[in-house]
Amino acid sequence: MREPAALPRPARWTRAILACGVIGPVVFWALGAVVAATWPGYDVMTDSISSMVHAPLGWLQVLAFAIGAPLTLAWAVGAGRVIGATPRDRTVVRAVFTVQAAIALAFALFPTDATGAQQTLVGGLHLATFFVYAVATPVSLGLVGRVFGRDPAWRPASRPTAASAVLMVVATLLVPVTLAGPLEAWLGLLERIYVAIPGAWQLAVALRALRLAATHPPPRPVTRGSPR
């Protein structure tokens, strides 16, 4: 029996949800830039990202997280179709990005308290979400890096991913000295670098996934009884 020719390109739906991995980080940073630029007195070097929810256009920062959640979830589905040499590895990829989507949603639902205000339940949940993010993000990068190492198509990305995980760990260890320490004056800048590491990583991986999807389409399944 003859195996039919491969599909010319993957399904449009797969390409669309892979593109969500590109759109998510871009939308987040674009909306954040608008909020910061329109808030008089806001300093991106010293003021945190979370505090932007209290800006005149703070609702855009909340929207950035709210939009990021479904976009990341869609990206999780798409990435789980093209990354991973085994069904188990593809499940790991989907799980990792689903967790990231849940974290983005939590940031949207639980904004931080205003500077100087007494901590509320919502503010406490925001802080708890940040701690979950601080642990889950480097772990996620490590898990996906291992998946990359087992997938020939993605093996070149394994070392950059491991390096990103290490950078996240280092950035996490710097958190205490930025919240109440000698680097507090650089809180805004360091927090943006902290968020930019996984954001830039996702952007690069999503672009590569789209490129691979276009040049290495999945084969059609073999149909028994098909003519030669």
- Express each pLDDT in 44-95 by its tens digit: 888 888 899 999 999 999 999 999 999 999 999 999 999 999 999 999 999 9
* Length of the chain as a residue count: 228
Distance of CA 70 to the CA centre of its chain: 11
To the nearest whole percent, how much of the chain has pLDDT over 70? Answer: 87
Write the CA distances from 179 to 25, 99, 140, 182, 200, integer angstroms.
Answer: 25, 25, 24, 9, 24
48 in any annotated domain: yes
The region of weakest confidence among 88-92, 105-109, 187-191, 213-217 is: 213-217
- The pLDDT mean for the chain works out to 86
194 in any annotated domain: yes
Gap between the Cα atoms of 65 and 103, Å rounded = 9
Write the CA distances from 192 to 3, 120, 211, 226, integer angstroms.
Answer: 50, 25, 28, 56
- Averaged pLDDT, 185-202: 87
pLDDT at residue 223, as a whole number: 40
157 in any annotated domain: yes
- Averaged pLDDT, 220-228: 41
pLDDT band at 193 (very low <50, low <70, confident <90, very high): confident
226 in any annotated domain: no
Residues 6+ positions from 183 with CB-CB distance below 8 Å: 174, 177, 190
pLDDT band at 139 (very low <50, low <70, confident <90, very high): very high
208: containing domain: 12-113+120-215
43 in any annotated domain: yes
- Is the confidence at residue 225, as pLDDT, over 90? no
- Averaged pLDDT, 139-143: 94
142 in any annotated domain: yes
Task: Centre a 10 Å sphere on the Cβ of residue 74 and count the other Cβ atoms it contains.
Answer: 20
pLDDT at residue 217, as a whole number: 53
**Total domains present in the chain:** 1
Yes or no: say if 110 and 129 are a contact pair by the CB < 8 Å rule: yes
Gap between the Cα atoms of 155 and 208, Å rounded = 12
- Is the confidence at residue 33, as pLDDT, over 50? yes
